[in-house]
Structure 1
Amino acid sequence: MKFSENWLRDLVNPDADRAELCHRLTMAGLEVEGVQNLGEGLAGVLVGEIVACEKHPNADKLRVCSVSIGTGEPLQIVCGAPNAALGLKAPVATIGANLPNGMAIKQAALRGVDSFGMLCSAKELGLDADASGLMELPTDAPVGAALADYLALPDASIELKMTPNRPDCLGLRGLAYDVAALFGAPMREADAAIVPMTSAAVRPVTLAATADCPRYLGRVVEGIDPTVVSPLWLKERLRRAGLRPISAVVDITAYVMLELGQPMHAFDNDRLDGGIVVRRASAGETLALLDGSDAKLDPQFLVIADATRAVALAGIMGGLDSRCTDATTNVFLESAYFSPPAIMGRARKLGMHTDASHRFERGVDPELPRAALERATALLLQIAGGKAGAVVEAVAPEQLPQRTAVTLRRARLGRVLGMSVADAEVERILRALGMQVAANDAGWSVTPPSRRFDIEIEEDLIEEVVRVHGYERVPTRAPSGQLRLGLAPEVQVPAERLRAQLVARGYFEAVCYSFVAKEWLQRWSRSEGSVALANPLSADLAVMRTSLLPGLVEALKHNLNRQQERVRLFELARVFERGVDAPRETGRIAAVVCGRALPEHWGGDKRAVDYFDLKADLENLLDLAGSDRSVEYRPLDRKEFHPGRSAEVFIGGESVGFVGALNPRLLKVLDLDQDVYAFELDLDGLTAGRLPAAAELSRFPQVRRDIAVVLPEEVSWSRAESVVRAAIGDALRELVVFDRYAGTGLGSGLKSLAIGLILQDSYRTLTDQDADHFVASALAALERECGGRLRG
């Protein structure tokens, strides 16, 4: 947003110089990105008129001009500008002047002809970038007047870096509200008097897409003078705002856009056929635009159409066929409110960016179109004459944005800012910003104006108060009070120990995105209960992960595709699932492995990693807790795991996770051509342990008994182990399985486990009778609960 400082001061003139104004704007969140000083160093530059112009006798491209400056004899000036001609009025730098570009004007001789001054271009005066010729002044410019006085200089072109949430400040009126609030200065509203109807000409308007355009106004103005040029004050304000003056009609619509923030468009009324319809474009519809390009449209685009064709791309650019030309005498002025989602991204899709789309896609005041139309009509009649028809409005009130009151609590304001702001100051700030304020016991009920789309919650109001009151006035003091030092419970294994243990066993830690594609979770049968993001960065990051394994396996695949043959990765992070009131977070630890069991070595084992390698790593983590809770592995029935090489992990009778080989069907979907083993466990179940306690070692010898037990194939070792431990009790110091046999002599569906029972008592030496008793108890329990028997 670029604007003239003098123009702003016509609306609100604070008691502050330029530097203070720019500083306060920046501190209020309206960052001043650049300031171009205009009109400095123009002492000695006057309005001159060329009263004679002859060809230079010694140079084809030079002319010898006689220039009147209102007093005395005309000055003889040698000039090379191509537009130097008899009757032209242009700036004249007299002898002794020092121009903004550093040039000092002296008497000089050019190719043998004396020159007593210099006719200037706008660039040489630091007023514009145009250096193509002399700066042409209007024919009514007073000869001899100081150029700075005539052009209302000095001035400055100030450029603001606007944030997307402040489209109201893309017009001088909206910006003036902020300046008035910052400095406590009175504000003069732009003239918005109703223009009386003096013509019967009307053009009907119909809304065929009310959600995209809930308000559209139009007015016919007949009999304007197409030859009239914009007045100097209007052209200068446009030029200092970074816009190039074109014609009176176009300049007026641009001026109103800069002044009020409402983009407008003017059609040649004689080139329109029938009524105006605001509708969605048809598939394959094309439109020739003002910039000469042909836009290929689809139903996502909103167009302004007459009875036969589209004549403008709504909120972006007008059409070439209905444009105003030098022969236009009847115009149709358009002023509308377009819903931001209907305009957002459409200009970028066509590879363009316009002042109108920049404003509409951020949000324009829905109550502004009528005031803007009246303002533009008044200016058009003032500058180009003509007769105004009636204002035709089509509106869908239910589709217009509604502003609701927002509560601001006095206590909340003080708590957030860490300081107290006087009630009178709060009310002054909010009212100066155009808000309706009603005080109550707890604070205020504030209704923002229709232009302030960004005011929705209490924190928005707090921001308004503090940015106008002054961020620099917020105290910068450290929090006070006693801080409680948190002590980690001794019975819990810290996450750092888990990480260190896995790293010591050859794993690398991976950090994966918490957001994943929904298709990932569906492949893993983990999409149920997933939390979808309201505004995802992309489709690949649309939902929050319910498992760590999809991301870890993608990382494993990434490494395999880069010639890493042995991959061992783990991650310790959180997963997310839908809850009653809010998403539920759960700490998890997961690991994936593939490739060789051991690093490549001349004397090492070259076998591939298997289920028992990964299970050993998992049990190593379980041992860190030193818990006395039983660990059990039960058959697992999950689609993502291999049905015969995976298990569900139970600790103390509660399921805490899974371990095993991934299902070959899943590996095929993931485009992996080798076995992958993985585990994933809840962190709380893994880290809960017990306090270590010292105990005296037994002074009595151990007794070992080896037995071979025949069990059904479906009975797991963990189940048999828990049965034996429960049957023998504290006398069983260690239990090992040292052989497994299945096949001839046992029968189908049976297996033989060779078990070593290591027995010891803390108070006496165990006898053979004691050992036989414990063995008998173990066999009886296995037969009763597991269907086992002693192998003969």
Structure 2
Amino acid sequence: MQFSESWLRSFVNPDKISTDALSHSLTMAGLEVEEVGPVAPPFNKVVVARVLSTERHPNADRLNVCQVDAGTGETLQIVCGAPNVAPGVLVPCALVGAVLPPSEAGGKPFEIKVGKLRGVDSFGMLCSARELKLSEDHGGLMLLPEDARIGMDIREYLDLDDQVFVIKLTPNKADCLSIHGVAREVAALTGAALRLPEMKPVAVTLADKLPVKISAPDLCGRFSGRVIRGVNAHAATPAWMVQRLERAGQRSISALVDISNYVMLELGRPSHVFDLDKIHGGLDVRWGRKGEQLKLLNGNTVELDEQVGVIADDKEIESLAGIMGGDSTAVTLDTTNIYLEAAFWWPQAIQGRSRRFNFSTDAGHRFERGVDYATTVEHIERISALILEICGGQAGPVDDQIVNLPQRKPVRLRVARAERVLGIELSPAVIADVFQRLQLPFAREQGEDGEVFVVTPPSYRFDIEIEEDLIEEVARIYGFERIPARPPIAESEMRPTDEARRSTHAVRHAIAARDYQEVINFAFVEEKWERDFASNDNPIRLLNPIASQLAVMRSTLIGGLLDKVRYNLNRKASRVRMFEVGRVFHRDASVADGGLTVAGYRQPMVAGGIAYGPAFDEQWGIATRPVDFFDVKGDVEALLFPRVARFEPVSHPALHPGRAAQVVIDGKVAGVIGELHPRWLQEYELTQAPVVFELDLQALREVGLPGYTEISKFPAAVRDLALVVKQSVRVQDLLDAMREALEKQGSARYCQSLVLFDEFRPKAASAAIGADEKSLAFRLTLQDTGATLQDETVDSAVRCMVEAAGAAFQARMRG
């Protein structure tokens, strides 16, 4: 929010506080002043002057020789090339010796001297607003009103020593989105008197009323309006109002629009001025309907639905409720009859609606945070008075309809609780003084913990709902600087460490150690990603997305990781390995509300990774090859160590049907791993398939406690066996059958390892291996801790394994 110091001091003027002190006080009270700067750069010896006469320069067609009265006691001759110079106009005049701002950034100040222009002496310079750095207008001289006194310093006349404040407000401080609101804070902080503009009812000379119906009480709680006829829309906006608007960052448009904007900045009340003659019948305040359209004041045509509030007449939609007016009823310079509207719109009904149409307005910014619902009539009177004063006309009575206003529940503040939170001693008298200065009505009573203040929030304070809000108010006005900085006092306690679980931080380090770079993505994603990678046709939708495409919550990390791969590939990165640890979101009716849960939604933490490009950085010792399923499978096994996972085939919408597996630990599915499905390679413009994994974070954190295992001092017996089986037989099924056979025979206690170390598939059928068969070579390591194993024991174990494989899968020994 931006405003001039002089405007603020017209409401509250603490005499003994400088600009810097005022800025500091506001910042320490929670209204952060981001910037304070002068409205004009420094310059001197520029005065109000009147052009007495002009004549054409004898040696230049575009120059005029002017005789000027600058209040110096003598007439000055000044050569001027401005197209709008004429006898009788009042303009700024830089006298000889004046120093003007530099013409460009980084330049030197410009000094006015006696000079000759095409042979004619010139004793000064007539100035444009651009030459004084008051605006970018360079179409001619800056023309001044007739009330300007000749010879008066232009800085004094235009109040150019005024300062402009730029305040960064937190979202809860909607009550300070006006000069009145900031002035209330200054009055509370300094004790200075607060002066408000008069809001007396204007004389009612018409009986006209416009019929208005409020069909949506949950949209609009109060609607006030007035008919004014016979206005002069060509009337000029007063210079004082234009000046205040410009210093608040607003451009002057026309008198009627300027007055509406002025009162919004002054009192925080957005209002709207309709051209009465363009309204068909009466107005209906209601929710929009599917298929309706509205052309707005900014020229955009928007599609409406049942989630957007509108003001409609008997024929068409006229306004987007609480956000922006429609083009069809906009006031113009030909407008003579108007309908003035000020309403209370429920914040929940306005929140997020502007962003649905990709724009933001000052009115929507205020209404979605909450605007005073008790002062619509007073503010209508303020706007009416300004319109009648500036544009003339005759006013009808105010039509004020109240259908649904907020019920402000009292909020209790325990003095003992405030002392504990702030860490200081607070007497009830101090707290009472704070509430009185903030104009917060309160009552006092005794509670179990001592004295309690019961505060009823005013109609303009939508940020006061719980006890902590009142504690914050006490801290702000009491002064954060007065609260001493004390180190926290707490008992130190050595807590046991759960050695069976590692932290999320340790998991991140472990994945990074496998050559993956961490990324952090939004938890809200494109709806298309959910359909493509999770077959999720009913994703969890956001009520208020930050962007139209990021409208749903993710149920998988794959979409975000793949998007970052494409981002890197577009920037010429050939090898990409990334991971993310984050939350995903699923519908689950069994979940109840809790401290960290939301009813109906399960929010587990998962770790996902993706590898694309070469398996290793290019080097002379290893041949370049693309990363494959088994590279990433090895990474997953290393991350899960010492726990051992099974990898079972799985059908997954994001993964290749024959190159995907689910990760199973202790009989529970803990995640998936696989190559990206071929159909998504073309869809997402990838030249090779990335390999992705997604694991439950809790499975990664569980490592178990280490256990003692005796190391044998006797030699191990190693046997290799090659089995020929059908190509459809899975290796994991073979391993399971052979381990089960060892268990039944009683040799399982000797088995140190049983691993596959070779696979052979013939190109053509042979006597040893058929065309539809494959050879699998396993290595079996047996070892006993009590004695050297005899050959008979080893051979018996091998024999039982081969027999079990033969019985289950028709496997036979090769050769």
Decide: shared fold, TM above 0.5: yes
Structure 1 stretch displaced more, 179-188 or 634-643: 634-643
Structure 1 counterpart of 2:380, from 373, 379, 392:
373
CA deviation profile, 1:687-712 (whole Å, cap 9, x unmatched): 5244364735335x656788899999
Structure 2 counterpart of 1:391, from 386, 398, 404:
398
Structure 1 stretch displaced more, 369-378 or 37-46: 37-46
CA displacement at 1:390 relative to structure 2: 1.2
Structure 2 counterpart of 1:61, from 56, 61, 64:
64
Indicate how the Cα distance of structure 1 residues 564 and 423 shifts in structure 2: closer, same or farther if over 3 A, else same.
Answer: same
CA displacement at 1:180 relative to structure 2: 1.1
Structure 1 stretch displaced more, 589-598 or 332-341: 589-598
**In the aligned structure 1, how far is the partner of 2:350 from the partner of 2:708?**
71
Matched, 1:449 2:458: yes
Specify the code of the residue in structure 2 equivalent to 1:721.
R
Structure 1 stretch displaced more, 89-98 or 194-203: 89-98
Q: Which residue of 1 aligns with 2:75?
A: 76
Q: Which residue of 1 aligns with 2:5?
A: 5
TM-score by length of 2: 0.71
**In the aligned structure 2, how far is the partner of 1:666 from the partner of 1:409?**
60
Q: Which residue of 2 aligns with 1:472?
A: 481
SS in 2 for 1:336: strand
Structure 2 counterpart of 1:195, from 202, 223, 242:
202
Matches within 5 A, 1:423-442: 423-439=428-444, 441=447
**In the aligned structure 2, how far is the partner of 1:161 from the partner of 1:492?**
48
CA displacement at 1:177 relative to structure 2: 1.0
Specify the code of the residue in structure 2 equivalent to 1:35.
G
| Contact 2:284/2:313 (8 A) holds in 1 | yes
CA deviation profile, 1:719-771 (whole Å, cap 9, x unmatched): 43144146425751435467999999999999998877655544445556766
Matched, 1:580 2:592: yes
Indicate how the Cα distance of structure 1 residues 723 and 499 shifts in structure 2: closer, same or farther if over 3 A, else same.
Answer: farther
Indicate how the Cα distance of structure 1 residues 239 and 370 shifts in structure 2: closer, same or farther if over 3 A, else same.
Answer: same
Matches within 5 A, 1:491-530: 507-511=515-519, 513=521, 515=523, 516-525=525-534, 527=536
**In the aligned structure 2, how far is the partner of 1:501 from the partner of 1:127?**
60
Q: Which residue of 2 aligns with 1:178?
A: 185
Q: Which residue of 2 aligns with 1:163?
A: 169
Q: Which residue of 2 aligns with 1:262?
A: 269
Q: Which residue of 2 aligns with 1:718?
A: 736
**In the aligned structure 1, how far is the partner of 2:777 from the partner of 2:316?**
90
Specify the code of the residue in structure 2 equivalent to 1:185.
A
Matched, 1:36 2:38: yes
**In the aligned structure 2, how far is the partner of 1:789 from the partner of 1:120?**
102
Indicate how the Cα distance of structure 1 residues 722 and 666 shifts in structure 2: closer, same or farther if over 3 A, else same.
Answer: farther
Matched, 1:14 2:14: yes
**In the aligned structure 2, how far is the partner of 1:710 from the partner of 1:173?**
89
**In the aligned structure 1, how far is the partner of 2:530 from the partner of 2:289?**
38
Matched, 1:334 2:341: yes
**In the aligned structure 2, how far is the partner of 1:305 from the partner of 1:152?**
44
| Contact 1:268/1:332 (8 A) holds in 2 | yes
**In the aligned structure 2, how far is the partner of 1:529 from the partner of 1:305?**
34
Structure 1 stretch displaced more, 268-277 or 374-383: 268-277
**In the aligned structure 1, how far is the partner of 2:637 from the partner of 2:469?**
53
Indicate how the Cα distance of structure 1 residues 784 and 425 shifts in structure 2: closer, same or farther if over 3 A, else same.
Answer: farther
| Contact 2:738/2:804 (8 A) holds in 1 | yes
Indicate how the Cα distance of structure 1 residues 464 and 558 shifts in structure 2: closer, same or farther if over 3 A, else same.
Answer: same
CA deviation profile, 1:535-591 (whole Å, cap 9, x unmatched): 444465455544455555556677788898887666666655554331666555555
**In the aligned structure 1, how far is the partner of 2:805 from the partner of 2:126?**
116
SS in 1 for 2:223: strand
Indicate how the Cα distance of structure 1 residues 384 and 748 shifts in structure 2: closer, same or farther if over 3 A, else same.
Answer: closer
**In the aligned structure 1, how far is the partner of 2:262 from the partner of 2:474?**
31
TM-score by length of 1: 0.73
CA displacement at 1:335 relative to structure 2: 2.9
Specify the code of the residue in structure 2 equivalent to 1:580.
A
SS in 2 for 1:160: strand
SS in 2 for 1:220: strand
Indicate how the Cα distance of structure 1 residues 460 and 745 shifts in structure 2: closer, same or farther if over 3 A, else same.
Answer: same
Contiguous gaps of at least 5 residues in structure 2? 103-108
Indicate how the Cα distance of structure 1 residues 726 and 411 shifts in structure 2: closer, same or farther if over 3 A, else same.
Answer: farther
Indicate how the Cα distance of structure 1 residues 39 and 650 shifts in structure 2: closer, same or farther if over 3 A, else same.
Answer: closer
| Contact 2:674/2:692 (8 A) holds in 1 | yes
SS in 1 for 2:204: coil
**In the aligned structure 2, how far is the partner of 1:39 from the partner of 1:594?**
57
**In the aligned structure 1, how far is the partner of 2:263 from the partner of 2:43?**
31
**In the aligned structure 2, how far is the partner of 1:262 from the partner of 1:227?**
24
**In the aligned structure 1, how far is the partner of 2:178 from the partner of 2:631?**
69
| Contact 1:220/1:390 (8 A) holds in 2 | yes
SS in 2 for 1:176: helix
Q: Which residue of 1 aligns with 2:26?
A: 25
Structure 2 counterpart of 1:732, from 750, 754, 778:
750
| Contact 1:724/1:781 (8 A) holds in 2 | no
CA displacement at 1:187 relative to structure 2: 1.9
Indicate how the Cα distance of structure 1 residues 559 and 394 shifts in structure 2: closer, same or farther if over 3 A, else same.
Answer: same
CA deviation profile, 1:182-232 (whole Å, cap 9, x unmatched): 212232333222335333333333456666555433323456688976667
SS in 2 for 1:199: coil
CA deviation profile, 1:348-390 (whole Å, cap 9, x unmatched): 9999877656655665433333111112333445566654321
Specify the code of the residue in structure 1 equivalent to 2:459.
S
| Contact 2:226/2:339 (8 A) holds in 1 | yes
Specify the code of the residue in structure 2 equivalent to 1:428.
D
CA deviation profile, 1:50-78 (whole Å, cap 9, x unmatched): 8x757699797234366889xxxx75354
Specify the code of the residue in structure 2 equivalent to 1:698.
K
Specify the code of the residue in structure 2 equivalent to 1:19.
D
The structure that has the greater radius of gyration is 1
CA displacement at 1:179 relative to structure 2: 0.9
SS in 1 for 2:746: helix
Contiguous gaps of at least 5 residues in structure 1? none
CA deviation profile, 1:319-353 (whole Å, cap 9, x unmatched): 5886364x877554333345668778888999987
| Contact 2:369/2:462 (8 A) holds in 1 | no
Structure 1 stretch displaced more, 115-124 or 508-517: 115-124
**In the aligned structure 2, how far is the partner of 1:250 from the partner of 1:366?**
22
RMSD, matched Cα: 6.0
Indicate how the Cα distance of structure 1 residues 305 and 82 shifts in structure 2: closer, same or farther if over 3 A, else same.
Answer: farther
CA displacement at 1:24 relative to structure 2: 1.6
Indicate how the Cα distance of structure 1 residues 641 and 465 shifts in structure 2: closer, same or farther if over 3 A, else same.
Answer: same
Matches within 5 A, 1:56-455: 61-64=64-67, 76-78=75-77, 132-133=140-141, 135-138=143-146, 156-163=162-169, 165=171, 166-207=173-214, 213-222=220-229, 237=244, 241=248, 252-266=259-273, 274-276=281-283, 296=301, 298-299=303-304, 315-316=323-324, 323=331, 325=333, 331-338=338-345, 359=366, 363-381=370-388, 387-395=394-402, 397-398=403-404, 400=405, 403-410=408-415, 413-439=418-444, 441=447, 443-455=452-464
Indicate how the Cα distance of structure 1 residues 530 and 774 shifts in structure 2: closer, same or farther if over 3 A, else same.
Answer: same
**In the aligned structure 2, how far is the partner of 1:496 from the partner of 1:328?**
67
Q: Which residue of 1 aligns with 2:105?
A: none
Specify the code of the residue in structure 1 equivalent to 2:475.
V
Indicate how the Cα distance of structure 1 residues 726 and 239 shifts in structure 2: closer, same or farther if over 3 A, else same.
Answer: same
CA deviation profile, 1:474-519 (whole Å, cap 9, x unmatched): 44444444555677655567888877887787x5445352624454
CA displacement at 1:173 relative to structure 2: 1.5
| Contact 2:180/2:196 (8 A) holds in 1 | yes
The percentage of aligned residue pairs carrying the same residue is: 36
CA displacement at 1:451 relative to structure 2: 2.8
Specify the code of the residue in structure 1 equivalent to 2:14.
P
Specify the code of the residue in structure 1 equivalent to 2:398.
V
